[in-house]
Amino acid sequence: MAVIVWFRRDLRVHDHAALYHAVETGEEILPVFVLDVRQEKDGQSGRKSQALFSALRSLQGNLADLGARLVIKRGEPAEVLAELAKHFGADKLFFNREYAPKAISRDEQVAAELQRNGIFTQTFKDMVLHEEGELLNKQGKPYVVFTPYKRAWLTLPKDKPFPMPKKLRAATGLESYPSDLIPALGGQGSAKEQVREEELYGERAARRRLGQFLDTQLAGYKLQRDLPAVDGTSRLSFALRTGTLSIRTVYHSVLERMHQMSGPQSEAAETFVSELIWRDFYQQVLFHFPHTVEQAFLADYEQVEWDDNEELFRKWCTGQTGYPMVDAGMRQLNQTGWIHNRVRMITASFLVKDLLIDWRKGMNYFAEQLIDHDEAANCGGWQWCASTGTDAQPYFRIFNPVSQGEKFDPDGTYVKQYVPELAHVPAKYVHKPWTMPELLQKESACMIGLDYPPPCVDHAISRLIAIERFSQAKKLGNK
Ligand SMILES: Cc1cc2nc3c(=O)[nH]c(=O)nc-3n(C[C@H](O)[C@H](O)[C@H](O)COP(=O)(O)OP(=O)(O)OC[C@H]3O[C@@H](n4cnc5c(N)ncnc54)[C@H](O)[C@@H]3O)c2cc1C
């Protein structure tokens, strides 16, 4: 008999719950990845798919090193897995749980289909440190406020990392079974490029990045994490999203370092752990309130009157709003598929509270572009910025894109990296270039309206309109 291990958001061989338990059964192992045709056509640059395929290629190599070939199949998971089980005579399917509504219904469908064929499905906690059912408040309800959730989270014992299997006993006939190919880079990337990509996105790269972060950034995380010009955060979001790194490994490695630290350094490590808790928090919010991928958690704010201004939306998407911090963020997103957290907040707040555009439009744009896109974190982040979510910032507290820039990018290093039109603008004006005297605009090679756009809205006015619209929505909701 054989056990199918279905890889999904866990593209690694170290510290992998389902793989570990499959090996423990003593049976043959059949590792599978089901390629969703939608992943091959993510519309935009294809960067997201390419990063995923690189991670997949790295998993393929790592499994091969352990003695088992990864079978890749295109199609509907229930059909593919039932067919494989039949072919190899597998009687068990093991996989790690996911918590987004679509993933849950897909997994239920798979388990039901396989059960009909006499195959037993076992699932494992792997993607989070604590699942939705482990943390409920005194009334037995899910937490919707972060601080009490965090307090409760910290008191619970944590699973330890699972050891990596030394060798896998592959299912008989696996080597010759036809497997689909992982699409190549842009359809025609060279083998050399593929290796380079794997070095960026694969399991080894993720483990290396964790080590580097622990050695060089963790101690300063609390001070540096809000400065987008500094490489001060872990940049592990892609690895945690695709599972080239396990959350248990990250947590326990940080804890180990924290025990060797004191004073501000250990506070920095605590701040980092808090971010990992936000990750679990949003997963459980989405599990308990699946409608929030489409609707405001605070129902009153479904009534907010949005402007459907396509021209302003385009300016935001392409980084042409005339507000440097917003434009740098959107250009960083478009060029790299990743944005710094502080700038995610600034750009999201700007779309919702300055352009008065529905947060769902921005959330969907981020979903298309982010290589670390995670439905729970993205939805949680957007609803927090839009003041519509659990524990969100109040609607009248509105980020000022100029003062945010002056505070978190005081000399303009970050904005100049992504908005080269501002390269010669003095720091004093770099976050409000339209206030430069004309002579200085000439000297800085940045004529407003010619080299760089003027502000597309007046922040002072639009913030008042936003406050009025949100307060109206609240009044309507209270009636
Ligand atoms: C509007 C908006 C959209 C976002 N969309 C996503 C998304 O699609 N995917 C995503 O992983 N994160 C998202 N975040 C959260 C956060 O911005 C990123 O996790 C972080 O910037 C990733 O960089 P890092 O790995 O260097 O983070 P670090 O600061 O090093 O944090 C370590 C890890 O903790 C987790 N984390 C950190 N902050 C948060 C948070 N606020 N919510 C949930 N998890 C967090 C991530 O897994 C991250 O890799 C979003 C935030 C906002 C405001």
The pLDDT tens digits of the residues spanning 381-404 come to: 999 999 999 987 889 999 999 999
Beta bridge partners of 136: 142
Q: Does residue 278 line the site of ligand 1, with CB under 6 A? A: yes
- Which of 222, 248, 341 maximizes ligand 1 atoms within 8 Å of its Cβ, making it the mutation to test the pocket? 341
Q: Does residue 233 line the site of ligand 1, with CB under 6 A? A: yes
Annotated catalytic, 6?
no
Looking at residue 476, its pLDDT comes to 84
pLDDT of 38 higher than 80: no
Distance between CA 420 and CA 265 in Å, rounded? 35
Q: Which two tokens stand for residue 338?
A: 């990743």
Q: Which ligand 1 atom minimizes the distance to the CA of 345?
A: 53
Distance between CA 363 and CA 43 in Å, rounded? 16
Q: Which residue has the tokens 């996911």?
A: 98
Q: Any idea where the domains of the chain sit in the sequence?
A: 2-125, 128-160+203-288, 299-478
Rg (CA), the chain: 24
The pLDDT tens digits of the residues spanning 129-184 come to: 999 999 999 999 999 999 999 999 999 999 999 999 999 999 999 999 999 988 87
Report the Cα–Cα distance between both ends of the chain, in Å, rounded. 63
Annotated catalytic, 275?
yes
Amino acid at 331: R
- Which of 153, 216, 237, 325 maximizes ligand 1 atoms within 8 Å of its Cβ, making it the mutation to test the pocket? 237
Looking at residue 192, its pLDDT comes to 66
Task: Write the residue with the smallest CA distance to atom 22 of ligand 1.
Answer: 237
H-type helices in 303-427, by residue range? Answer: 310-318, 324-336, 341-349, 359-369, 375-385, 401-408, 413-418
Distance between CA 4 and CA 434 in Å, rounded? 61
Annotated catalytic, 338?
no
Annotated catalytic, 384?
no
Instruction: Give CA 44 to chain center in angstroms.
Output: 17
Annotated catalytic, 306?
yes
Q: Does residue 332 line the site of ligand 1, with CB under 6 A? A: no
Distance between CA 85 and CA 206 in Å, rounded? 32
- Report the sign of the C-alpha dihedral through residues 450, 452, 453, 455, in that order: negative
Confidence category of residue 43, pLDDT binned at 50, 70, 90? very low
Task: Please state, as a whole number, how many other Cβ atoms lie within 10 Å of the Cβ of residue 83.
Answer: 13
Answer whether 434's CB lies under 8 Å from 428's CB: no
The H or E element spanning position 273 is helix 263-288
Average pLDDT over residues 432-453: 98
Q: Does residue 378 line the site of ligand 1, with CB under 6 A? A: yes
What CATH number labels 299-478?
A: 1.10.579.10
Q: Which two tokens stand for residue 275?
A: 């971010």
Q: Return the DSSP state at 105.
A: H
The pLDDT tens digits of the residues spanning 183-239 come to: 876 544 566 666 666 678 999 999 999 999 999 999 999 999 999 999 999 999 999
Ligand 1 centroid from CA 256, angstroms: 22
128-160+203-288 carries CATH number 1.25.40.80: yes
Q: Which residues of 191-209 are buried (b: 16+ CB within 10 A; e: fewer)?
A: eeebeebbeebbbbbbbeb
Q: Which residue has the tokens 């694969």?
A: 202
Q: Which two tokens stand for residue 10?
A: 């866990």
**CATH fold for domain 2-125:** Rossmann fold (3.40.50)
